[in-house]
């Protein structure tokens, strides 16, 4: 059997780091416009990142490697290391500028960015340099669609291995959909993503936001990341118009981008007959109406429009795992905590920027459970789980069951681990589920009104691990810890 192909790993990571260095220039341009001293640190960060990437690329290209010489071992390891290395070098602008002097906090902030998790350690966001604000939001935009997917959209990086890399990073995309035309699919997704970002920017700019705030919030809203330029998040703007626009951006961010591309390119309403989308829309509608009624009947709120708008915003933010807030839902009562924890588990659609287990898996699990009851009544009947008229194979169903089991088991185990770091019982559960689902807000002092600054050093690194595992859909990273995976 052949040896592990370390050269493809080095060359792939090297190229991605060089592209990250180019991304840093956008933040430098913002710094130049506002005449900030932090811009020098960003330029230096870009040089270090580009030079390191070039070195990796040189070491990996010293010997040519054919596309056939790569397996899932190299693919999973490359994807995992690419995200870690991007996060490591992404800390440089924060550290070299002195804006976040602690490496732990800088790495935490960057990992939150690339994994589109709304957590933060910053205590005074408004005092942060605008160029670094832009870099925070931009990391979420890059990580939203997927670092490697975004690069593959415009650069033929992995040649014949593109399908394997796409599968390792994409959020729940079924294999039969992506294998035939991987380059077309990634490009269409990226163009839709870019187009919605630009449209969102102009709509936000038309409201109370200035151009800078509109740009940052457009980047973090469509990526369902949740970073804001204000300590009070979206509540700072006190604008119903802004809330509705961001709600729409978050909703689109949680929708399958291939579905959106088909809709915008053909303007066909039939596109939204997609079964997963109907479940996604129904979940948002049911939770919004239910929470609105509960708030109105309990007397916690009185104004109908404000109540529905607030509930809609928080529900969409939770279902799409966007760490935005207009209120602290913890003040509504404990029953609402449970509702929000439930919402962030399955979240948005496959092929979207949202985290969680995805609605498509919820659909299959629900239908599979109903079939169990049917088979008890008619044991000899032949039943099959279908989605959008297509039969879900037993292999796919078993993989979904394994995924959900691993996801929930890791969340439960992590809650126990985090409880030993000083977190209370409810805080450890909230932070665990929130982190693996890329939501950001936990419970207690880690809720919408809190910050992750008080967390211990170990807790912050462990949370980074959870965020990465959740963003790469569990199997990609956990496979690396299975001894049999590395056997030749």
DSSP annotation string for 412-455: HHHHHHHHTTT--HHHHHHHHHHHHTT----SGGGSTT--STTS
Nearest to 10 by CA among 18, 467, 107: 18
Q: Residue 100's pLDDT is what? A: 94
Q: How many residues in the chain?
A: 488
Compute the mean pLDDT over every residue in the chain, rounded to the nearest whole number. Answer: 87
Return the ∠ at Cα 112 (arms to 108 and 116), rounded to 5°: 175
Is the pLDDT at 157 greater than 70? The verdict is no
Q: Are 328 and 355 in contact (CB under 8 A)?
A: no
Cα–Cα distance measured from residue 456 to residue 461, given in angstroms and rounded to the nearest whole number: 9
Pairwise pLDDT comparison (444 vs 42), residue with the higher score: 42
Distances 138 to 20, 105, 114, 333, 456 between C-alpha atoms, Å: 11, 18, 9, 35, 27
Q: Residue 397's pLDDT is what? A: 86
pLDDT per position as a tens digit, 452-463: 999 999 999 999
Most confidently predicted of 205-214, 263-272, 337-346: 205-214
Distances 479 to 65, 264, 362, 365, 433 between C-alpha atoms, Å: 24, 37, 23, 23, 21
Cβ-based neighbour number of residue 169 at 10 Å:
26
- pLDDT bracket for residue 134 (50, 70, 90): very high
> Looking up tokens 């416009």, which residue turns up?
33
pLDDT per position as a tens digit, 138-155: 999 999 877 666 555 545
Q: Residue 67's pLDDT is what? A: 47
Rounded to 5 degrees, φ, ψ at 84 are -65, -45
Rounded to 5 degrees, φ, ψ at 348 are -85, -165
pLDDT per position as a tens digit, 12-36: 899 899 999 999 999 999 999 999 9
Cβ-based neighbour number of residue 207 at 10 Å:
17
Is the pLDDT at 171 greater than 80? The verdict is no
Cα–Cα distance measured from residue 177 to residue 395, given in angstroms and rounded to the nearest whole number: 16
Nearest to 352 by CA among 480, 248, 226, 259: 259
Nearest to 316 by CA among 247, 400, 387, 370: 247
* Burial label, 380 (beta-carbon count in 10 A; 0-12, 13-18, 19+): exposed
């Amino acid at each position: 059997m052949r040896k592990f192909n370390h050269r493809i790993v080095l060359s792939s990571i090297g190229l991605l780091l060089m592209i990250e260095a180019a991304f840093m220039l956008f933040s430098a341009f913002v710094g130049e416009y506002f005449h900030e001293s932090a811009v020098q640190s960003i330029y230096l960060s870009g040089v270090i990142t580009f030079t390191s990437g070039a070195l990796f690329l040189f070491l990996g290209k010293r010997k040519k490697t054919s596309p056939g010489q790569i397996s899932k071992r190299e693919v999973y390891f490359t994807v995992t290391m690419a995200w870690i290395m991007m996060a490591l070098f992404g800390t440089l602008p924060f550290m070299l500028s002195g804006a976040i002097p602690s490496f732990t906090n800088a790495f935490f902030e960057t990992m939150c960015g690339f994994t589109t998790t709304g957590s933060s350690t910053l205590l005074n966001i408004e005092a942060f340099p605008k160029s670094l604000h832009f870099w925070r939001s931009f990391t979420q935009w890059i990580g939203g669609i997927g670092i490697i997917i975004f690069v593959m959209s415009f650069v033929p990086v992995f040649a014949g291995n593109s399908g394997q890399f796409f599968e390792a990073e994409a959020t729940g995309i079924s294999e039969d959909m992506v294998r035939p035309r991987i380059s077309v699919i990634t490009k269409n997704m990226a163009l839709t993503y870019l187009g919605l970002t630009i449209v969102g920017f102009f709509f936000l700019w038309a409201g109370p936001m200035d151009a800078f705030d509109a740009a940052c919030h457009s980047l973090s809203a469509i990526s369902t990341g949740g970073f804001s330029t204000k300590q009070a998040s979206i509540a700072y703007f006190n604008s119903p118009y802004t809330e509705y626009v961001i709600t729409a951006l978050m909703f689109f961010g949680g929708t399958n981008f291939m579905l959106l591309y088909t809709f915008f390119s053909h303007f066909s309403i039939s596109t939204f007959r997609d079964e997963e989308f109907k479940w996604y829309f129904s979940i948002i509608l049911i939770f919004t109406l239910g929470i609105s009624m509960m708030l109105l009947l309990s007397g916690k709120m009185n104004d109908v429009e404000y109540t529905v708008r607030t509930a809609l915003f928080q529900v969409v933010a939770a279902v799409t795992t966007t760490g935005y807030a207009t209120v602290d839902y913890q003040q509504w009562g404990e029953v609402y905590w449970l509702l929000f924890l439930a919402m962030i588990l399955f979240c948005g659609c496959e092929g979207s920027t949202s985290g969680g287990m995805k609605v498509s898996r919820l659909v299959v699990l629900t239908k599979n459970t109903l079939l169990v009851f049917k088979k008890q009544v008619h044991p000899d009947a032949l039943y099959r789980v279908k989605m959008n008229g297509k039969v879900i194979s037993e292999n796919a169903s078993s993989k979904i069951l394994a995924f959900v089991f691993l996801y929930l088991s890791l969340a439960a185990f992590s809650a126990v681990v985090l409880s030993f770091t000083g977190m209370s019982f409810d805080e450890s559960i909230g932070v665990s589920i929130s982190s693996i689902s890329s939501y950001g807000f936990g419970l207690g002092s880690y809720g919408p009104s809190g910050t992750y600054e008080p967390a211990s050093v170990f807790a912050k690194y462990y949370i980074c691990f959870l965020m990465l595992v959740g963003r790469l859909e569990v199997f990609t990273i956990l496979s690396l810890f299975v001894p049999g995976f590395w056997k030749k």
